[in-house]
Structure 1
Amino acid sequence: MSGAATLAERYGPRALILGGSEGIGAEFADLLAGSGLDLTLVARSAAALNETAGKIRRVHGVDVEIIELDLAAPDIPSRASDIIAARDYGLVIYNAGATHGVSLFLDQPVERALNLVALNCASPVAFAHAALGKMREKGRGGLILISSMSGLVGSGYVAAYAASKAFEIVLAEGLHWELQRDGVDILCAVASLTDTPAMQRSGMVAVEGLTPMDARTFASGALGALGTTPVWYAVGDTAVEGLRAMPRPAATANASAISAQLWGIEADRGG
């Protein structure tokens, strides 16, 4: 759904951006503020939140609230309810859950995998459940979940991350089916490798032939797709169809090799 007036009318008066302090989240914030929406930005880093919020206030003159919160915290269901109840949100964007460094599943503490499950599965469910009921009552609104191409197939070195990102895609498909009749738009925006501060901090290395997408291009494309489809792939449908045409074991082997390349690991496992 495109156009400044359309965004404000369809998804105003305020957007909640979870993971809104930098990168893709900050680009969503800037685009929505430019369309006239007030914002609530949620993230762990107060410094990054204040910097982004200050810039948006200066440039766009909208109201920007910040909330410092760990989206993997155990009390997220109650926090989500409180945050949603406090404001009139017409749009919720869940943009969290980057992976920071990779390793074989059994070479990491189980808490690391469970943190990804909390961040990419439990927390999106909590915020979706809290927000969508109010949107259904109004007969309008939107929810965007940000997933990853990693969620399309199992992958070594990022097994739990890939699985948790697959959850977001399937969740969005089901919620879209349930809520389209009520005038509520649900979208899973599936990112490819994207140039963000989190990616730069993650330990990734440059790989020939893999050029990160611009974060603003991704955010703009996702907003344009909202209301038109349950799942939008930043790389385009053709690339996704090619991946799905591969036998699953071959696709997993390919994804695992790419993960190893991106984090400079010598891939020596798997058959």
Structure 2
Amino acid sequence: MSRLPTVLITGASSGIGAAYAERFARRGHDLVIVARDTGRLEALATRLRSEAGVAIDVVSADLAISDDIARVEKRLREDSSIGVLVNNAGISVAGSFDKQSSADHDRLVAVNATAVMRLAHAVSGRFAEAGDGAIVNIGSVVGLVPEFGQTIYGATKAFVLFLSQGLAFELGPKGVYVQAVLPAATATEIWSRAGADPAALPPMMEVGALVDAALSGFDRREPVTIPPLHDESKWTAFQATRMAMLPGFAQSIPAARYKVDA
């Protein structure tokens, strides 16, 4: 019987990442769990080793720091036992675009976009060569809704969706599965860490329910999993409309509506 692949999960100290760690451990996968909070990681690792009998390595890293990303990249490139990457780490910042600081924006992009890209790239070559492996990128429905007003956060999550779809197109034929997961509001600590007003928060999905739905999509090899979207036909129609536009992008002259009368 072949051994299950090890799963590396970022942002695993709490919330969605911790739930992924629990679910994969229960399935019998060894884990590499990554986050800034070493104490929480060690406590989670101790509990899951006892409950699930799996091996768990703890990696303390801040994915806003390039050198820390590089350490996780090295592990992904060199540890051939790792067959699943869950790019879950993410942050948010409260307030409007004009009130947020440039430092806030830099950190958002570093954690939510740059780290996701770099870690996926670090493992993609090895997965493609093996003809196997999975990359799970946690995005957000916010990346589809500029009307929510979370401009930089939403832009990073739109990047995650596009990156995932592009990687699926490039790596899928080589045997690598890529999944984008798009949660809506989920009951995690990201809200309090962002300084959000609790009274202004919307109803939220429970973390375990979100991850169980995401793993159902994973098992079915969905390219994009949107747990809060009950009417799947809306996403199918959205994708069909997008594809229907593609021939129009190849036109060599401007559309008639842009013609300027002499």
TM-score by length of 1: 0.79
- The residue type paired with residue 98 of structure 2 is L
Higher CA-based Rg: 2
**1:128 and 2:128 are equivalent in the alignment:** no
3-state secondary structure, aligned to 2:32:
strand
**1:71 and 2:63 are equivalent in the alignment:** yes
Would the alpha carbon gap of residues 218 and 156 (structure 1) be closer, same or farther in structure 2, given more than 3 Å must change? closer
Offset, 1:85 = 3.1
Partner of 1:164: 156
d(CA) in 2 for partners of 1:167 and 1:205? 28
Partner of 2:135: 143
Partner of 1:212: 204
2:88 alignment partner, one of 81, 92, 95: 95
d(CA) in 2 for partners of 1:225 and 1:239? 12
d(CA) in 2 for partners of 1:109 and 1:235? 31
Offset, 1:189 = 0.3
Offset, 1:76 = 4.8
Partner of 2:248: none
Q: Mind listing any 5+ residue stretches in structure 2 that lack a counterpart? A: 239-262
**1:15 and 2:28 are equivalent in the alignment:** no
d(CA) in 2 for partners of 1:204 and 1:170? 30
3-state secondary structure, aligned to 1:79:
helix
1:76/1:123 contact within 8 Å kept: no
1:104/1:156 contact within 8 Å kept: no
Would the alpha carbon gap of residues 128 and 217 (structure 1) be closer, same or farther in structure 2, given more than 3 Å must change? same
Partner of 2:73: 81
2:164/2:178 contact within 8 Å kept: yes
Q: Mind listing any 5+ residue stretches in structure 1 that lack a counterpart? A: 246-271
3-state secondary structure, aligned to 2:182:
strand
Partner of 1:112: 104
Offset, 1:71 = 0.6
Matches within 5 A, 1:27-46: 27-46=19-38
188-197 or 78-87, larger mean C-alpha shift: 78-87
- The residue type paired with residue 161 of structure 1 is Y
2:61/2:68 contact within 8 Å kept: no
Moved over 6 A (4+): none
Aligned CA-pair RMSD = 2.3
- The residue type paired with residue 137 of structure 1 is E
Kindly provide the CA deviation profile for residues 71-130 of structure 1, in whole angstroms up to 9, marking residues without a partner as x. Answer: 111225532331213422110001111314x11212121010111111111111110011
1:141/1:183 contact within 8 Å kept: yes
d(CA) in 2 for partners of 1:49 and 1:240? 39
Structure number with the bigger relative contact order (C-alpha 8 A, sep ≥ 6) is: 1
Kindly provide the CA deviation profile for residues 225-267 of structure 1, in whole angstroms up to 9, marking residues without a partner as x. Answer: 125222111112638939x98xxxxxxxxxxxxxxxxxxxxxx
Would the alpha carbon gap of residues 219 and 204 (structure 1) be closer, same or farther in structure 2, given more than 3 Å must change? farther
1:155/1:162 contact within 8 Å kept: no
d(CA) in 1 for partners of 2:185 and 2:172? 30
Partner of 1:175: 167
d(CA) in 2 for partners of 1:57 and 1:139? 30
1:92/1:143 contact within 8 Å kept: yes
Would the alpha carbon gap of residues 204 and 54 (structure 1) be closer, same or farther in structure 2, given more than 3 Å must change? farther
Aligned length: 234
2:137/2:180 contact within 8 Å kept: yes
111-120 or 227-236, larger mean C-alpha shift: 227-236
TM-score by length of 2: 0.82
3-state secondary structure, aligned to 1:105:
coil
2:16 alignment partner, one of 21, 24, 31: 24
